[in-house]
Structure 1
């Protein structure tokens, strides 16, 4: 179980860092060939799909998170391979594809925000805000109001960086709450054992 948790943490962090890296590259070099942008995006999506597939294999059966990882694996790998095979056809669809990815990430973050809220974390609403913004940004890309592809790519870069940074923030808070819950349970069990020993004595 401990190895699974460690792998889950690593995969989540790597996915967020990939988003930040990809976003930074697209923002700094928005005028690069759209074909190159497609190839890079496709490769990153396939890599993200592989990461989620590793998490899927490591996740205990029957859990909701296992189903989520399977869906994300299929979506990312299928879209990534499609982009790599048909880059010229996909060029005009880049904003839509990234928009779908952001919406999926947003709903995943929304689940984390609900977890923080149920755990009575004080800033759970900030996680909810980040999740909502990610979904909205994805919706903007799906609508694609940009006239020039270079402008669209630059906005995509900004949105991806925001998604990665917000994912890292939400993950760090969820990890802290999980640790606190675990410590509380352990302390409660130790106290129960002490009380039982006192009764026996």
Structure 2
């Protein structure tokens, strides 16, 4: 092969390599916000399990005093705020999930501290507060459902249904049609269990899709490198 031919061949290979790098970079950027959010797996799973546990406790013992419920609820919210604060610092800057974690941290900590300082005033607002929490969780689940839809996951619509139900349940608590506080607490327990279970399912599906995307990108890069090596040989 002449020197000019070899140089031309290397230029073609270089252009092909650049095209593949651009393709891989675009694929990574398309899902980067979601991947960064899913890196905080421990906080998401812990929060979901905590909701399930609290829901079971409230359902089994609905007649506990409202003051105790307020104090426990305030402590839970502060703890959840701390968890999301840790996720905020562990998420790379400039991502959508970092903004979500910061917003959740502020909301949960402010409401939690307020409940701990003013339990008597908050007793009548327990359903409203839990309604707000469920709506926030539903919006987070809605964002994950959109991610699953963009990733062409076949059951993305089920995640969308779960997110919609969570938001609707939060709306029911805001409306608060329950006359007896014990009934309201029992219903809150059921809603919390549903919220925790749906969060676990949606998160597991989103994590699976993210893993498949990473494997596909890695496989594309390996195939590109093998093709370039064959051309050079």
Alpha-carbon deviation of 1:6? 7.8
| CA-atom RMSD in angstroms | 1.3
Of 105, 118, 124 in structure 2, the residue corresponding to residue 86 of structure 1 is 118
Normalised to the residue count of structure 2, the TM-score between the two structures is: 0.84
CA contact (8 A) 2:37 2:97 kept: no
> Counterpart of 1:182?
214
> Counterpart of 2:19?
none
> Counterpart of 1:61?
93
Structure 2 residue 162 is matched with structure 1 residue 130: yes
> Counterpart of 2:141?
109
Alpha-carbon deviation of 1:79? 0.4
Residue aligned with 2:62, SS: coil
Distance 1:69 1:184, change over 3 A: same
> Counterpart of 1:37?
69
Matches within 5 A, 1:42-53: 42-53=74-85
Gap runs ≥5 in structure 2 = 1-31
Residue aligned with 2:40, SS: helix
> Counterpart of 1:20?
52
- Provide the rounded CA distance (Å) in 2 between the counterparts of 1:94 and 1:197: 65
Q: How many residues end up aligned between the 2 structures?
A: 199
- Provide the rounded CA distance (Å) in 1 between the counterparts of 2:39 and 2:94: 18
- Provide the rounded CA distance (Å) in 2 between the counterparts of 1:69 and 1:6: 12
Give the number of the structure whose alpha-carbon radius of gyration is greater: 2
Normalised to the residue count of structure 1, the TM-score between the two structures is: 0.97
